[in-house]
Structure 1
Amino acid sequence: MASSITRPLRSINVTKEAVGLVCCRTFSAAKGKKGAKGGAASDAPKVSSLSKEVKSSTTVGANILKDGTDPKVMADSEYPDWLWGLIDKKPALSELRRKDTESLPFEDLKRFVKLDNRARIKENNSNRAKN
């Protein structure tokens, strides 16, 4: 149906200026700023007002409370042990499929079942979409 509409339009010659007028998006000037055009002054990077000592001793931007303060950085020994395990890389599904499922630790076995189910669901969805 779309091809029947576009065939007669192919014979019409349209200049670049006409396309520019139709497809051009314009913006109005900002109110209250007379003579300000472009904004070259605001393109400069902002200088941080925090000192190096404050940046190294606090987690800047971690505060989510309106009246709260940013949390202080503590020594590594003051954090729980499980926290350091969060940054460890987890094995991918292909690696887990190569290993024997009987010898996998419980956490890896749970991860294998979850990733395998997810992969089967994606495959079933793509097969249904093709039909």
Structure 2
Amino acid sequence: MITNIFTKSFNTIRQSILSPTVLSRTYAKAPATAALGGKKKKLGKLGPVVEKKEIPIETDANKLVNYVCGSNILKTGQDIKLKPDSEYPDWLWSLNVDRIIPVEEMDPNTKQYWRRLRKQGLRRNNQLNRLKKF
């Protein structure tokens, strides 16, 4: 009697494992390529391939000297006109734009020094962990 119950339960488990259930997806549809740009686009692995826009480069020297090119993000309007140097704050001209200051040259009493030191330590530990074999 016990073996009979055992075989019945074993058979039901075996049938549920061996007989695949057919599931159909109803939550996802094929991407509509015609709706995006009017043209049919080539489908890649991740969907339609979007062509990159060509951004025009300003070559007019007068405009490059007098305006902040690319500052206008609206369809209408103009770029921002540059002001004389005297109208900008003094700290703007003392910013370091040449290179990153090494940790050895930084003052250890500043927050930036300790942040940079911590960041370098984290990078070093991550690289050492990457080299370890399992």
Larger relative CO (CA 8 A, sep 6+): 1 or 2? Answer: 1
Q: TM-score range by the shorter chain?
A: 0.3 to 0.5
Q: What is the TM-score with the length of structure 1 in the denominator?
A: 0.44
Higher helix share: 1
Instruction: Tell me which structure has the larger Cα radius of gyration.
Output: 2
Q: What TM-score do you get using the length of structure 2 for normalisation?
A: 0.44
